[in-house]
Structure 1
């Protein structure tokens, strides 16, 4: 008989459980490897919204199909469609979608509210499975509303808990607690002790994530007491493990506060609860849980620097996983062992186990774990002076992280394509929301990846600098190191080139820009010529509610410093416009300035780094252009006449006595050409006398080409720039954006 749990993380998630609860890597590694999985899995241990479904012992899907064929009532058909969704959820994605949407259509047609509530519940589960957490919340709330209408308190409690779970996973802890407490209250009214125990545990987990360990322990002990009263040994084991986790975190904090006596006592408490959980798991013959506790215990000994005991428990976990044939667990165990050998400075052993972990992660496609294994072995090679190997594995970590991003986007697009057939207008909006969230997540991950890459560049540069600081008496050593320096220089260029590719990835894609500009019946070109490999200029486009937002920005400096600033700018624009829905150009620049100033503030005071920028908002329906401009003016050419749009003389950055940015409005006409740009082209030295190109000459060129097709305008401007520059060095990044209404 198959048990189905709500939300349906089922066997797949349970099998991944130890990879999250028991991550036994070094503290730095544990902090970065499995936080997302940890959330899902620890919650899933407790978050068991019982709605057990009986299935036939043999070929349950076939049996359900036979029953469906003979079912005469529409209500019964809806119920069977829902059950078929559960059967196919993890085995056949297409069939699962097919049956859940058949249930949705039919339950709506016949106004079968109980069946519709169940269908929305399963749609929420399906959205959660595909990492579409906002959509999961929407569906769970739909199920909740219907359940409230029909007075189904059991499902009301379940849906409140499900919504709390999604908010927890999104990191919105106050909302998660709000819904968990509501679910707990109804469970208490129903006398549902099992659900009470699980919600007490869930509340404890939220408090633990907020580092409110006193409350976390309080609720874990309440959950443990309830589980003991119920005789729920699995629940008892989960609660004991969670108590161990809290004491271990408290011990880690005490270590950071340099309180060794306190930390030793807390580690002892953690071990006590882990060993109790292990004993229960052994009594249940639950090998998964046994291996989990082996790793948990190993992590404590690892933190206590009792490396031999830690290795003993890591190897026990490895042996257990090998008996189970659980490859993901094997990979994690190998990674844990490898990390411990790094702590012991046994680098050859560490390399052996980490390479095995990477090999298994490649074979079974566990990309999140692969990212950490690659980072770990990169760190190992860095410590042993194998710079080339260190950088190669660092790049592999970035590539695996990028693949994760792309897979997430692919799942969202697939969801969109199917739902479009059900409700075109609603699905279109869902897709926009999903893509905006995915783009924001992607860019945040890429930005931090670039920062990590550039940090590695700085390490390499420091190494080269130290290598060159030799005296004249060391000429022989200098000659020997000459080739090494050249190799390192090449590696620096390679890493900056890689950073360039990442920067290009976070700039709005050409296909997106073309599609959105075409959607407002406009044309465009973008001339983008960085001075160095990484650019301090950047552009960014986003369309929302029939309005096109775009920015042309010139950050302080160029190359790596300007690149850092451009990353901050794009990240903050995503937050301000996409997430916070601020739409007024002046207010957008004000918020952008606030964030930049706050981010760059040091103990010595404010830095004057920032950017010059032009932020435009084209409202197609009203035929107006709204803009705010910091230092850089721009041009609109109408009927061959240049209309200069003046900028406010202040940057998007710190400035004493700076005023607020103000939105200006310009009414557009068909055929208007809008040109926004940075100062790179006008400031370029060249020509027969080696002088600046100047704005006057730039205006003359724009007047001469404004009636040409946009592609020819771009080509002509680029040729003009190259001819003027000649053999002289490019002095700054160059960006020119032209849009014809």
Structure 2
């Protein structure tokens, strides 16, 4: 039995993609026109990322080129938000191409840039990137790591009351448990996902929940319950014109009817699924329909037509019809296998080149770090030497200044003392002079005495 689950959007952009339409084409034209005139600023980063998102599913290689340009410009601008957005988008585009190591590397770089942020926007982006990292691990079959990241994302979005994020993480955790064959636990998460989808009034989420609940019941062997949920999902998909999901559901329902031996109903659903899958060129789905139709013609115990409304075939014709579809199935399977091998080879080559570039980048980084360390050591030695010289100069200047101060003080003291001596000397001389005058005034001169004695002797 060929039952296909329907997953949530494989990766989350920071800004959700809208479906490609005529308005989307106008948006691409508008962005291209603006990019011709915008300068190297944050607006250009946003437009480069917007254009990359618009081209993601039609031309992921161009999206990678655009986001790399946005990343380099963000680095030049030292704009953390632009870098985080660009890394996140590069993770998505590489994931779409199946380049999971590169995708994981980009998501982790984006996560490191936003996880320490405290704003609501940063925390929402952190939850988104945790979910994206989980998706990469899921695609690589590392289910325990995927669970770890999905649960972290679920916890954070629950704290943020981001119900759409919570719903997606619940669905993803359920699918991991389904891959681990723990269908009962998967159903617990699917029903919680369905409850959130109903609260959000999101037909798309409800449709996904119905498909995955039906798939779990089919794996548990409860085909009637599985059919009930598949038919609920098909109703929503037909109302929304979702051809991809309709093709999947027609195949799932047809496979279940084959198991229940309702061969006419099985044919109607499988053939409708083949027509839609072929019109979409969804070769993997076409392969599944070929296989199921081959099994149906082989197992049916009633005549079946060769097409809807066609003539009924007899037993031999049905055997040949079974062989016809089986050959087409084998041929397409081998073609897809060969293409997948080529893709795997390209991926391995790309991974090898990526790892080589990473190793070279790390070597260059280590070399740059060693050069930077040596330069830092040199700078420190220069700084210490200059500081030492400055200290010596300052010390010597201080010594000279102190000596000059002492000399100046001594000079002032000597001058003061000299002044005192001069004053004392002047005072002494003045005293002597004064005493001399007094003495001259009091003592009769020799000439006066002689003159008077001569006069008396006459």
Q: Do both proteins adopt the same fold according to a TM-score greater than 0.5, normalized to the shorter chain?
A: yes
In the alignment, does 2:263 pair up with 1:296?
Answer: no
Deviation at 1:193, TM superposition (A): 0.7
C-alpha distance in 1, partners of 2:295/2:273? 15
Q: Which of 67, 78, 91 is residue 140 of structure 1 equivalent to?
A: 67
Please state which structure has a larger fraction of its residues in helix: 2
- Residues 177, 360 of structure 1: alpha-carbon distance in 2 compared, 3 angstrom cutoff: closer
**1:316-369 per-position Cα deviation (integer Å, ceiling 9, x unaligned):** 222333444544433332211101122334333311211232344466776654
- Residues 248, 88 of structure 1: alpha-carbon distance in 2 compared, 3 angstrom cutoff: closer
Deviation at 1:280, TM superposition (A): 1.2
* SS of structure 2 residue aligned to 1:179: helix
Checking the alignment, whether the CA contact within 8 Å between 1:277 and 1:293 is kept in structure 2 is yes
Checking the alignment, whether the CA contact within 8 Å between 1:240 and 1:276 is kept in structure 2 is yes
Checking the alignment, whether the CA contact within 8 Å between 2:94 and 2:100 is kept in structure 1 is yes
**1:374-412 per-position Cα deviation (integer Å, ceiling 9, x unaligned):** 34213423455734323544677699x79xxxxxxxxxx
C-alpha distance in 2, partners of 1:133/1:289? 25
Aligned to 2:49: 121
- Residues 383, 364 of structure 1: alpha-carbon distance in 2 compared, 3 angstrom cutoff: same
Aligned to 1:102: 33
In the alignment, does 2:163 pair up with 1:233?
Answer: yes
In the alignment, does 2:223 pair up with 1:307?
Answer: yes
Aligned to 1:498: none
C-alpha distance in 1, partners of 2:200/2:352? 52
* Pairing of 1:139-288 with structure 2 (within 5 A): 139-191=66-118, 192-251=122-181, 266-288=182-204
Checking the alignment, whether the CA contact within 8 Å between 1:158 and 1:183 is kept in structure 2 is yes
Aligned pair count? 333
Checking the alignment, whether the CA contact within 8 Å between 1:89 and 1:96 is kept in structure 2 is no
Question: TM-score if structure 2 supplies the norm length?
Answer: 0.63
Aligned to 1:49: 14
- Residues 138, 313 of structure 1: alpha-carbon distance in 2 compared, 3 angstrom cutoff: same
C-alpha distance in 2, partners of 1:216/1:205? 7
Checking the alignment, whether the CA contact within 8 Å between 1:161 and 1:180 is kept in structure 2 is yes
* Pairing of 1:242-641 with structure 2 (within 5 A): 242-251=172-181, 266-361=182-277, 369-383=285-299, 386-393=318-325, 445=336, 447=338
Please state which structure has a larger fraction of its residues in strand: 1
**220-229 or 366-375: bigger deviation:** 366-375
Deviation at 1:195, TM superposition (A): 0.4
- Residues 317, 273 of structure 1: alpha-carbon distance in 2 compared, 3 angstrom cutoff: same
**1:86-119 per-position Cα deviation (integer Å, ceiling 9, x unaligned):** 9996216764554333223223xxx333333233
**1:155-210 per-position Cα deviation (integer Å, ceiling 9, x unaligned):** 21111111112222333322222211111111123331100111111111112222
Deviation at 1:278, TM superposition (A): 0.7
* SS of structure 2 residue aligned to 1:185: helix
C-alpha distance in 2, partners of 1:326/1:167? 25
- Residues 100, 388 of structure 1: alpha-carbon distance in 2 compared, 3 angstrom cutoff: farther
C-alpha distance in 2, partners of 1:319/1:162? 33
Deviation at 1:305, TM superposition (A): 0.9
**1:436-481 per-position Cα deviation (integer Å, ceiling 9, x unaligned):** xxxxxxx9638479xxxxxxxxxxxxxxxxxxxxxxxxxxxxxxxx
Deviation at 1:309, TM superposition (A): 1.4
C-alpha distance in 1, partners of 2:19/2:201? 29
* SS of structure 2 residue aligned to 1:50: coil
* SS of structure 1 residue aligned to 2:21: coil
C-alpha distance in 1, partners of 2:41/2:335? 41
- Residues 97, 291 of structure 1: alpha-carbon distance in 2 compared, 3 angstrom cutoff: closer
- Residues 272, 93 of structure 1: alpha-carbon distance in 2 compared, 3 angstrom cutoff: closer
Checking the alignment, whether the CA contact within 8 Å between 2:42 and 2:82 is kept in structure 1 is no
C-alpha distance in 1, partners of 2:195/2:351? 50
C-alpha distance in 1, partners of 2:65/2:230? 42
C-alpha distance in 1, partners of 2:240/2:346? 45
Checking the alignment, whether the CA contact within 8 Å between 2:3 and 2:215 is kept in structure 1 is no
Question: TM-score if structure 1 supplies the norm length?
Answer: 0.40
* Pairing of 1:657-668 with structure 2 (within 5 A): none
- Higher radius of gyration, 1 or 2: 2
Checking the alignment, whether the CA contact within 8 Å between 1:88 and 1:96 is kept in structure 2 is no
C-alpha distance in 2, partners of 1:291/1:94? 28
Deviation at 1:581, TM superposition (A): 11
* Structure 2 residue ranges without an equivalent (≥5): 301-315, 354-458
Q: Which has the higher contact order (CA 8 A, sep 6+)?
A: 2
The alignment's C-alpha RMSD in Å is 3.6
**1:208-234 per-position Cα deviation (integer Å, ceiling 9, x unaligned):** 222222221111111111111111111
Checking the alignment, whether the CA contact within 8 Å between 2:13 and 2:89 is kept in structure 1 is no
* Structure 1 residue ranges without an equivalent (≥5): 1-25, 52-85, 252-265, 403-442, 450-567, 583-741
Checking the alignment, whether the CA contact within 8 Å between 1:321 and 1:327 is kept in structure 2 is yes
**220-229 or 322-331: bigger deviation:** 322-331
